[in-house]
Amino acid sequence: MSTNEIKLPFGKISQKKLIMHFSAYDIDLPIIAAGIRERMDVFRELGVEFAGFGTDIPESMSEQSPALVKCFFEYVGEGGDANLVLKRVYHLVWGGMIAMFPDLEEWATAKADLSNLTLAQAEVIRARKED
């Protein structure tokens, strides 16, 4: 680890860049995106740009090693302590995710709907395979 790199529980800061990572097993991409969108105006005022997100698929994915969702931010402000600002952004993202997370009933309904969609897709695949 470089002396200019700061390790965080779910990410790292290096060379004016913040990379956050979340387990796709624990946190859905829409929740992460909603949390970022919720705080986007604050990021701009801090001189930080959201640079995107994506899924990092491990070579051998299993229940113990699910895909990671990574989010990228870059400090483009003038002056100031980039590391300090990016640490603030790290906490703002988590705060935004908590603020945007649906209540338990709504979340359970969404998960059930996703499960039903997955089952329906599996049935379509089975039907096509039998043809």
CATH 3.30.1360 at 6-100, yes or no: yes
DSSP state of 65: B
Strand order from edge to edge, sheet including 11-14: 6-8, 11-14, 17-23, 68-75, 48-56
In 3D space, the residue among 18, 32, 3, 37 whose CA is nearest the CA of residue 75 turns out to be 18
Per-block mean pLDDT, blocks of 10 residues, the chain (131 long): 81 97 84 92 96 82 76 94 96 92 83 87 87 73
**Contact in structure between 13 and 79 (CB atoms under 8 Å):** no
- What is the reported pLDDT for 62? 66
All structural domains of the chain with their residue ranges: 6-100, 103-131
- What is the reported pLDDT for 55? 84
- What is the reported pLDDT for 61? 64
